[in-house]
Amino acid sequence: MSEPAKAAPPKQASVVKYKAALRKSIRKNAKEPEIDFLNITAMLDMMTIILVFLLKSMASSSASIPQSDDLTLPVSVMSSEPSQEGVVVVVSKTQILVGENPEPIVLLPSREQLSQSGVDAKYKRSGPNDLYIVPLANALSSARDTDKKVRAAKGLDTGSSEAIIVADGTTPYRLLIEVLFTLGQSEYGKYHLMVISGKKK
């Protein structure tokens, strides 16, 4: 008599396949963790950036122009608040500066020469009688391009820019006219003259 055939044992999944299936299931059912807390480090970083921005803005404010022997502002009886808009043009006794650039745009001669013919002819477009100061116009053109972008971002009129003139109290009329003429030729349509508020007599 022949013996009855034995049934084959059921196949069992190997450990490797089991672990692979388990990892796949975990990945499939994984959910992004919910953020239910405040990240103090990120908030401190943000506050630091804001603080630095505010300090930088206050330091470069047109109302905080340092005075010295080379630059003494004239006194005025007007009591209006100083403007905070526009590029700053500093006209001291020895040089002309534009914006935050510490490098002088134009070096000025003596007061006597400035009263007669203004800025040296080498800075002019066509000789000593011209009112257009070429290096000043070049610097103003660069500042104007930046101001256009800022005005466009704020939704303001980009047709012309504003300038804040910080001039020494002894600045000759001829030099002031040359600076104003160059500003006008560089698309600056509004000017503010920075002065020290004084008492009415």
CB 132 within 8 A of CB 185: yes
Tokens of 107: 């070096």
3-class SS of residue 90: strand
In total, how many domains does the chain have? 1
For residues 77 and 200, give the distance between their C-alpha atoms in angstroms, rounded to a whole number.
5
Structural domain contains residue 54: no
Given a cut of 70, whether residue 153 has pLDDT beyond it is: yes
Q: Which of 13-22, 30-39, 52-61, 125-134 has the highest mean pLDDT?
A: 125-134
For residues 70 and 199, give the distance between their C-alpha atoms in angstroms, rounded to a whole number.
24
Structural domain contains residue 176: yes
pTM over 0.75: no
Structural domain contains residue 51: no
Structural domain contains residue 38: no
Helix 134-154 with 173-185: angle, nearest 10 deg: 50
Identify the band that residue 150 occupies on the pLDDT scale cut at 50, 70 and 90: confident
- Number of helices (H) and strands (E) in the chain: give both, helices first: 5, 7
CB 186 within 8 A of CB 140: yes
Structural domain contains residue 84: yes
pLDDT in tens, 52-105: 887 776 655 545 566 677 777 666 655 566 556 778 888 888 888 888 888 888
Structural domain contains residue 74: yes
| Mean pLDDT, all residues of the chain | 78
Structural domain contains residue 154: yes
Structural domain span for residue 106 = 64-197
Among 99-103, 110-114, 173-177, where is mean pLDDT lowest?
A: 110-114
Structural domain contains residue 123: yes
More confident residue, 27 or 62: 27
Sheet of 95-98, strands arranged across: 106-107, 95-98, 87-91, 161-167, 188-193
Burial bucket for residue 157 (CB in 10 Å: 0-12, 13-18, 19+): exposed
CB 73 within 8 A of CB 166: yes
